[in-house]
Amino acid sequence: MLNDKIRIKGIETQNRIISEPIVSDSGDNEGLPTLKTMEIYEAYANAGVGMLVMEQHAVHPWGRNKINQFRLYDDDSAKAMEPLTKLFREKGIPIAAQLNFSGAGASGKALLNEPDFKLFSPSGLRTPRDLIQTDSLALEIDQINEIIQSFADAAKRAVELAKYSGGVQIYACHGYLIGQFLSPLTNIRTDEYGGTLENRARILFQITEAVKNAIGDFPVSVRLGASDQMPNEGEKGLTLKESVWIAEQLAKMGVDWIGVSGNHCIYGIGADDNDTAYFSPYAEAIRKAVEKYGVLVDCAGGIRTSKTAKRLIDSGTCDFVGIGRPLIKDKSYLLSWNL
């Protein structure tokens, strides 16, 4: 049932609805939350969701998506998020921090003028979406190691300083850096981080292990881009079959839940995203692979009605239903669902 409570390690969700991370563009130019941020998320805290994943936080100065993106690469930035997470903790709603390194998936051109920013990618290639329209630098091994450590450090700040009660989510989809490594469209490396699927997924596995070690008993999630698939086109690059294998390896490592989405994509995989639950085939395949390990799966994308949400839960397609864009437009969207 949609209103069932579910336990994930030491936390309990109030229902099976997750408010998915959507960039609010509400931070200031130092990446700090503003009054606008507080107003937006106070409305989310009253929206009836069982859990919220907070929009992406940069784990490293190089890894920013935009100048006003929230940050977890220094203590002061992490502490500045605590009043926001308090909104949810006071209501008993778990809130998790999404951790990201954008790489060539960055979208804020103003970053190119920042002295502490560099545009990196696995192989120096542009992404299919190419939002920043600028060539990137291929990462060296020591830089990869630095990025892995930055995820672990950011995760520790998230739970200890920012007080994210729901742990963290590693952002491995939508064509950002980890997704760039996973995809043969953007990863043509010939070392241990390129070529075979195991090599392309190596950085994700190493980040996951480092994050788990850093935060102990707090939940660790991965939002996994399951396929490179543009609307109305077939797979070109990372395949669902490959991502099912990746998900099973993550389950064996002890990840607590997996969010399912697309990788190099423009979100929906069809022309119509009106209540089509377009990523549900991905979620169903991944859940079949990981449920024996006790790993939970959330499915988002084009879910617009309680009828569709209930169908996904009842059919065993997923354990959680993710709602994103409808809640941006109307924070009271879920009230009619009678959770």
| Interatomic CA distance for residues 260 and 120, integer angstroms | 25
Confirm if 293 and 284 have CB atoms less than 8 A apart: no
Answer whether residue 271 shows pLDDT above 70: no
Which helix (DSSP H) or strand (DSSP E) does residue 42 occupy?
Answer: helix 35-45
Asked whether the predicted pLDDT for residue 65 surpasses 80, the reply is yes
Higher pLDDT, 268 or 203: 203
* The total number of structural domains that make up the chain: 1
CB atoms within 10 A of CB 1: 10
14-32 pLDDT, tens digit each = 999 999 999 999 999 999 9
pLDDT, tens digit, 9 for 90 and up, residues 104-157? 999 999 999 999 999 999 999 999 999 999 999 999 999 999 999 999 999 999
pLDDT above 90: percentage of residues in the chain: 93
Range of the domain at 171: 6-337
Q: Is residue 1 a part of any domain in this protein? A: no
> What confidence score (pLDDT) does residue 338 get?
81
In a domain, 237, yes or no: yes
Question: For residue 213, is pLDDT > 80?
Answer: yes
Decide if pLDDT at 243 tops 70.
yes
- The DSSP code for 126 is P
Angle between helices 141-160 and 202-215 (to 10 degrees): 30
User: Is the predicted pLDDT of residue 174 greater than 90, yes or no?
Assistant: yes
286-314 pLDDT, tens digit each: 999 999 999 999 999 999 999 999 999 99
**Does residue 263 lie within any of the structural domains?**
yes
Q: Which two tokens stand for residue 95?
A: 């809130």
| DSSP letter assigned to residue 70 | E
How high is the pLDDT of residue 266? 75
Query: Would you say the pTM of this structure is higher than 0.85?
Result: yes
CATH number at residue 278: 3.20.20.70
Mean pLDDT of 247-255: 98
Confidence of residue 274 (pLDDT cuts 50, 70, 90): confident
- Where b means 16+ CB within 10 Å and e means fewer, 36-50 reads ebeebbeebbebbbb
